[in-house]
Amino acid sequence: ADYSEEPPRHPSLKVNAKEPFNAEPHRSALLSYITPIDFFYKRNHGPIPVVDDIERYGVSVGGLVKKPIELSIFEIRKLPKYNVVATLQCAGNRRTAMSKTRTVKGVGWDVAAIGNAIWGGAKLADVLELVGISHSSTYSPLGGKHVEFVSIDKCKEENGGPYKASIPIRQATNPEDDVLLAYEMNGETLNRDHGFPLRVIVPGVIGARSVKWLDSINIIEEECQGFFMQKDYKMFPPSVNWDNINWFTRKAQMDFPVQSAICTLEDVDVVKPGKVTIAGYAVSGGGRGIERVDVSVDGGKTWLEAERYQRGNIPYQSDDVHTDKWAWVLFKAVIDIPENAVVVAKAVDTASNVQPDNVEVIWNLRGILNTSWHKVQARRAP
């Protein structure tokens, strides 16, 4: 693979893998509601493609449709534009902590393989109408049930072929699900790292389904058979290891579970005497909001409810933003802590799902979806 044309990146990013480039910011960069592009995690499976002739770039929409079409970026920009605030989270977020109980396979991540951005683009539901599939369809007129997204990048897992994924047609055609073909991020033209010229954003779902550098959209009968849908990004029980794994026994992971992390403290930290700020993010998948965030300074024996907020620093007129129901909420509590504190955060979503208290119960060999209570140790400086 050729990594000679990678874009420039912010020097403060923590690089977890160089080629393909995988990097996250320091966790403190996640304390603003909208994550700046430079500090938004970057997760790739191959070199960043070069699209230098935007005039010739186009997305084909085909498969089980009566009349396939090819749309230029200019035609996509002419469709109604939506600005959706959505949190993108890699299924591998917090993997490093999971590998501490037992080794897992995959790129290591701290708590920052996640970010919240304003994605601007056309709704996939509107694009699919152009090929005769109406809003809120359970199948296309020709019997398609899934919508596949194929990229122009090349990755070794696909034997040099493109990255791909699919979502059910019902989600793709439901305008309320806000699936976007995004050409803007935080009001700027999408940059190369994040999918220039066009990427998919599937809100509320693990990042792996938000295909970057979109090349084609196919209406298909069965779920996409690509590596990342069939042999990766599945949640296995702790009893499954590399000798007894059977990929076909599990479904492709879509929605992510309720998650939160503390971003004002390191995993092991020394704090000044007095009040300590415990703040971070909380988010749930599938459009479920955050009902509550509890924090503890004694390892989870006693709890206090944190304050929650969204927006605030949004660089947009509020009516320009179509929705922020897919966005994280930030939480904050300012508390006196004991001398040797174990500080914990746990979020509860609107369906009353709660994060599990320890990582052992959700350990899985690929190290995905570590949503266990985020615990950090804070020692008071003398």
What is the contact surface with ligand MTE in residues (CB under 6 A)? 40-45, 88, 90, 151, 153, 163, 194, 207-208, 210-213
**The entry of Mo ion, ligand MTE, none that residue 42 binds, CB within 5 to 8 Å by partner kind:** ligand MTE
According to the binding rule CB under 5 A, does residue 367 interact with Mo ion?
no
| Residue showing the smallest CB distance to ligand MTE in the complex | 207
Instruction: Tell me, by CB under 5 A, how many residues bind Mo ion.
Output: 4
**Using the rule CB under 5 A, which residue among 58, 106, 121, 207 binds Mo ion?**
207
- Minimum CB–partner distance for residue 89 and Mo ion (Å): 8
d(CA 184, CA 120): 5
- Examine residue 208 and tell whether it contacts Mo ion (CB under 5 A): yes
In the list ligand MTE, Mo ion, none, the entry touching 281 (Cβ below 5 to 8 angstroms by class) is none
Cα(105)–Cα(41) distance, integer angstroms: 19
Q: What is the dihedral of CA 82, 83, 87, 92, to 10 degrees?
A: 60
Q: Which residues does residue 323 pair with via DSSP β-bridges, in sequence order? A: 84
Residue 292 Cα to chain centre, angstroms: 21
Of 41 and 331, the one with the shorter C-beta distance to ligand MTE is 41
CB 89 within 8 A of CB 259: yes
Question: Alpha-carbon distance 70 to 308, whole Å?
Answer: 44
87, 328 Cβ separation under 8 angstroms:
yes
Residue among 91 and 219 whose Cβ is closer to ligand MTE: 91
Verify binding: residue 90, Mo ion, rule CB under 5 A. yes
In the list ligand MTE, Mo ion, none, the entry touching 213 (Cβ below 5 to 8 angstroms by class) is ligand MTE
Going by C-alpha positions, the residue among 4, 5, 115, 130 that lies closest to residue 66 is 130
Q: DSSP string covering 365-380, please?
A: TT-----S-EEEEEEE
Partner that binds at residue 212, options Mo ion, ligand MTE, none, CB closer than 5 to 8 Å by kind: ligand MTE
Choose the one of Mo ion, ligand MTE, none that binds residue 203, judging by a C-beta under 5 to 8 angstroms depending on kind.
none
* Interface residues toward Mo ion, by CB under 5 A: 43, 90, 207-208
